[in-house]
Amino acid sequence: MSIKEAMQIYFQMRKEIANEGLDFLFKTPISSEDNLIIYDGEVDEEEYISWKPVEKTVSQDFTSLEDEFDIKLHKSIVEYFNSYWFADLDGFYQEHYIALEPVLPNSEISSFRESLKGYKENHGDSLKKIPIGIEGNGLLVVIENNSGIIQLEDFERGTFEHIAENIQELIGNLRLKR
């Protein structure tokens, strides 16, 4: 299964659950007028707006980012950022609550660049692992850059827990209900 197929299944499940009355699953704080392609409808009284996942038809080039950080990103990271635009991709995986990096029009690369920069600074100038999200208890969700394996990083303890073989396994097994 490709990452795009895993996302398609995930967003379909999210839509079905939202249609059961949990419409907040497709609500997000309005962040920028640039994200109009995913926004749906009007901003409500709480400054939230409905959003919908939009399949990407143009691929983002990561060459300049790779050159800037002197790395070659694992193909799954590039595929992740080139599958859909979306505001939220989160849920329960095993006993963990996982929230993956959103991919918003016109901000996906700049936001990811900042994550990489901070991660590299905090890890002895190394990007052997790439941050892709956060776990409910504050652990980082990282992709091992040479293998694509997904791990949870406990920065305080300096430990890594293997949780999935790849990003599509993680996304394909996210649940929105415990």
**Residue 15 falls within a domain, yes or no?**
yes
**Residue 93 falls within a domain, yes or no?**
yes
**Residues 6+ away with beta carbon under 8 Å from 67:** none
79 in Cβ contact with 6 (< 8 Å) = no
User: For residue 61, what is the domain's CATH number?
Assistant: 3.40.1580.20
**Residue 10 falls within a domain, yes or no?**
yes
**Residue 22 falls within a domain, yes or no?**
yes
Per-residue pLDDT of the chain in tens (178 residues, 90 and over written 9): 899 999 999 999 988 888 787 766 677 777 656 557 777 777 777 777 888 899 998 888 899 999 999 999 999 999 999 999 888 899 999 999 999 999 887 776 888 999 999 999 999 999 999 999 999 999 999 999 999 999 999 999 999 999 999 999 999 999 987 6
**Residue 177 falls within a domain, yes or no?**
no
The total of structural domains in the chain comes to 1
**Residue 178 falls within a domain, yes or no?**
no
**Residue 53 falls within a domain, yes or no?**
yes
- CA separation, residue 144 to residues 46, 49, 68 (Å): 38, 34, 19
**Residue 88 falls within a domain, yes or no?**
yes
Which structural domain, as residue segments, surrounds residue 145? 3-172
60 in Cβ contact with 82 (< 8 Å) = yes
